[in-house]
Amino acid sequence: MNPLIFNLGRCTLFEGIKVGELERIFGSVKHRISFFLPGELVEEQNAICDEMLVLLQGQTKAQMQDFSGKVITIETMEAPSILASGFLFATENHLPVDIVSTAKTAVLYIERDGILWLCREYEVFLRNLLRDMGDRLTTLAEKVWMLSLNTLNQRLANFLLRQSDDLGDEFELKTTKEELADALGVARPSLSRVFSEFVAQGLIKQDGRQIRILDRAALKRISGHTV
């Protein structure tokens, strides 16, 4: 068995399944592993999604073009994680984004019939898969809500609060400002201006990608949350 498959033990999709069972699983389920260099296209927009994609190694980003032709980064993913789980069983199972490798990357492909077999044989796998789909729906709803906020100040304050909820009051941005600007639906210079305003107002401290929250209550007021 490819040693990369043992990374699945750290992937939430296979949480609760012992490493020894992985040998049985991948002796029964049709699968393949493909490797990509930074910048290579893993899957293209509108491709039919008839396999589960699991990122075993490296990092990818999901991108799409807006009406002006500008490429927007929707999401970045780090191994081990599942890519586009929600589209495998959709009626229109076409990928809405390009998936691009941003590092040396290994992707495991599992056929849809193999996923159905796993759901029948391992209840814990089925629960993990449903949890992943539910988490992605929650994330999508949160992104739609954030984009509905009227001002960039509100969007950035909400983003910083969510990051600190997950990582603590001092954290490192995982994306570039260009990628964050795309995610927030604004131009990069506008985002940099609001970052500078937050620093000047004493709301945050910034050193490159390193962020420290100084005034959480003020950020909550800006974002529209009650303190």
Mean per-residue pLDDT, 176-200? 87
The SS3 assignment for 90 reads coil
Measure the CA–CA gap between 76 and 11, rounded to whole angstroms: 16
The Cα–Cα gap between 157 and 195 comes to 10
pLDDT digits (tens, 9 = 90+) for 198-225: 999 999 999 988 999 999 999 999 987 6
d(CA 171, CA 212): 7
- What backbone torsions phi and psi does residue 2 show, to the nearest 5 degrees? -60, 130
Residue 209 is given by DSSP the state T
Contacts 24+ apart (CB under 8 A), 89-92: 90/49
User: In this predicted model, what pLDDT tens digit does every residue of 33-43 receive, in sequence order?
Assistant: 999 999 999 99
User: Which sign, positive or negative, has the C-alpha torsion 208, 210, 213, 218?
Assistant: positive
| Eight-class DSSP state of 151 | S
Tell me how far CA of residue 127 lies from CA of 23, 78, 119, 134, 139, in angstroms: 21, 22, 8, 10, 18
pLDDT at 148: 67
Mean pLDDT, to the nearest integer, of 187-193? Answer: 90
Question: What's the pTM value of the predicted model, to 2 decimals?
Answer: 0.69
Read off the pLDDT of each residue in 132-161 and give the average, rounded to a whole number: 80
Which sign does the torsion angle of CA 15, 16, 19, 25 carry?
Answer: negative
Mean of the pLDDT values across residues 7-13? 80
Instruction: Give whole-number Cα distances, 143 to 5, 81, 214, in Å.
Output: 32, 20, 24
The residue among 19 and 91 whose pLDDT is bigger is 91
Q: What pLDDT sits at residue 227?
A: 45
